[in-house]
Amino acid sequence: MVSIRRQSKSDPKPTEDFIYTDLYNAICERHLPPDTKLGEAMLADHYGVSRTIIRQVLLRLSSDRLVKLEPNRGAFVSRLSLEEARQIYEAWRLVEAAIIRDVTRSITPEQVASLRALIAAERVACDEQNYPLLTRLSTQFHMQLADLCSNKFLSRFLKELIPQTSLAYFYEIRKMPVCTKDEHSDILELIVAGNAEAAVETARKHLDGIEAALNARAAVDRRISLVDKLNSRLSSLS
């Protein structure tokens, strides 16, 4: 299910935050591949708002590094080189290890319950083959772990880093979501058991597994225009 939604005429105009979140999710759920042109006029028409609002949204997405703004050409979904994708995973492994060590010292029963509920939701999404949702929940597992870290610089860094891994998707050989449910559960239960180093090692293998699926050859010919994407969504609604 594509997360881009056309507003019906009777709906109030969407806010800047709504459009930002909608496009952010569309990129992170991998509906909009790298290099997709995000035309201002087209998006303004689609959401029924002014181009000024669309420009603000594109500016915010570019500061998240999910969108690149090119003079005289407009806005495009960012593209990562395979090397950049690998560097992101390298950074992620290092920061994740520090976060796991920190969280193992401080995690509370309520926080454990919340993470277990998230993993249960991942299982349901997986069983229902709802891959966009599973992708979002898998990312959320790492984001939520980062939120529990007492070092706010580390959490902020990881939360900036992870959305960019969505851009690396087009290098993945498999079409399956990035994270497997049992690996998240293994990481969490080792944290709960107070075994930080085993949890760090399990997380490292988990991220290694995702990185190992990156492959430059898979990046070929997966481009689709925003208009095509929106049109296919609209025709599926009619």
CB nearer Zn ion, residue 58 or residue 179: 179
Binding mask 121-150 for Zn ion (x = CB under 5 A): ------------------------------
Restricted to residues 45-84, the positions that interact with Zn ion (CB under 5 A) are: none
Residue 187 CB, shortest distance to Zn ion, in Å, is 8
Restricted to residues 146-205, the positions that interact with Zn ion (CB under 5 A) are: 179
Residue 55 CB, shortest distance to Zn ion, in Å, is 34
Residue 139 CB, shortest distance to Zn ion, in Å, is 8
CB nearer Zn ion, residue 61 or residue 214: 214
CB nearer Zn ion, residue 43 or residue 179: 179
What Å distances lie between residue 29 and 13, 96, 97, 106, 167, CA to CA? 24, 21, 25, 31, 10
CA distance linking residue 209 with residue 133, whole number of Å: 20
Coil vs helix vs strand at 170: helix
CB 117 within 8 Å of CB 101: no
CB 69 within 8 Å of CB 62: yes
Q: Identify each DSSP E strand in the chain by its residue range.
A: 37-38, 67-70, 74-77
Residue 107 CB, shortest distance to Zn ion, in Å, is 17
| Residues making contact with Zn ion (CB under 5 A) | 179
